[in-house]
Amino acid sequence: MWHTSEGDRILQGAEAALFKAGVTSLVEQIKDEANYESYHYSIELFASLTWSQRLAVIETLATHLLTETACAPRLTAVNEAAIGSVFEHISFMIDMEIMNTPTQNTWRLLLLNAAHEAYGELSCDDDPDATNAAENLGIPESADCRKRDLWHPLVHSMSDRILWDRDFEMMDEFLDEPPEKSALLRQIMGIDDEYFSTAAEDLNSLEDVGETLHRLTEMLK
């Protein structure tokens, strides 16, 4: 389980399907990095990790968000940045789908199904009021919609169902402050003392990498 903004829970149904797809695609990208490919990550903290650290933290996310565990892990800047990166990757894949494969809507359909499950179905057929309501909620009328400015906020809203906030984006600001001021700021903002200081786990051997990939494959089926 995970300590999400919606309570301690695991992902289920369409929300789990969306997250699994995002993790599966991101893991494939990370595997490419092991072969010296280079990719851009918009979340700086996740970008600063090595490929093996990325793989290790992704396994932690998948384990606790997709399977029943005895308890939820401590929230850290590293693991929350990784969650944010999964959803940033989903946004990227939607962009690629819209630009490069106009006849496919796989990623948009996954997101739309998750949004309908989370926020309820909205029937927009011949109903302008329903159409306006869907747009106000940021839910496109169909998976064929090609307006990226509608899809990106919807991805963000789905990530907000897991993330409490985006404190991980302020890591450098806190680390640049004197220890006393940083501690005071964390206290004011309700940030755990170890939130920024907890280091990313790593995989120490090719055997560890292989075992991690095997476990991920089983979880992501």
pLDDT tens for the 221 residues of the chain, in order: 999 999 999 999 999 999 999 999 999 999 998 888 788 899 999 999 999 999 999 999 999 999 999 999 999 999 999 999 999 999 999 999 999 987 899 999 999 999 999 887 554 444 444 444 445 566 888 999 999 989 999 999 999 999 988 888 876 665 656 666 566 666 666 677 678 888 999 999 999 999 999 999 999 98
What are the two backbone dihedrals, phi and then psi, of residue 177, each rounded to the nearest 5 degrees?
-85, 155
CA-CA distance, 25 to 120, in Å (whole number)?
A: 27
User: Are 82 and 76 a contacting pair, CB within 8 Å?
Assistant: no
Q: Structure tokens of 148?
A: 């990226």
Interior CA angle at 144 toward 139 and 147, to 5°? Answer: 60
Domain that holds residue 8: 2-219
What are the two backbone dihedrals, phi and then psi, of residue 126, each rounded to the nearest 5 degrees?
55, 30
Residue whose entry in the numeric block shows the structure tokens 């695991």:
10
Number of domains the chain contains:
1
User: Are 52 and 30 a contacting pair, CB within 8 Å?
Assistant: no
CA-CA distance, 101 to 97, in Å (whole number)?
A: 5
Q: Structure tokens of 48?
A: 């600063």
Q: Structure tokens of 81?
A: 């940045």
Nearest residue to 150 via CA among 84, 103, 91: 91
Helix (H) or strand (E) holding 56: helix 51-66
CA-CA distance, 94 to 97, in Å (whole number)?
A: 5
pLDDT in tens, 153-163: 999 999 999 99
What are the two backbone dihedrals, phi and then psi, of residue 8, each rounded to the nearest 5 degrees?
-70, 120
Cα 199 from chain centroid (whole Å)? 19
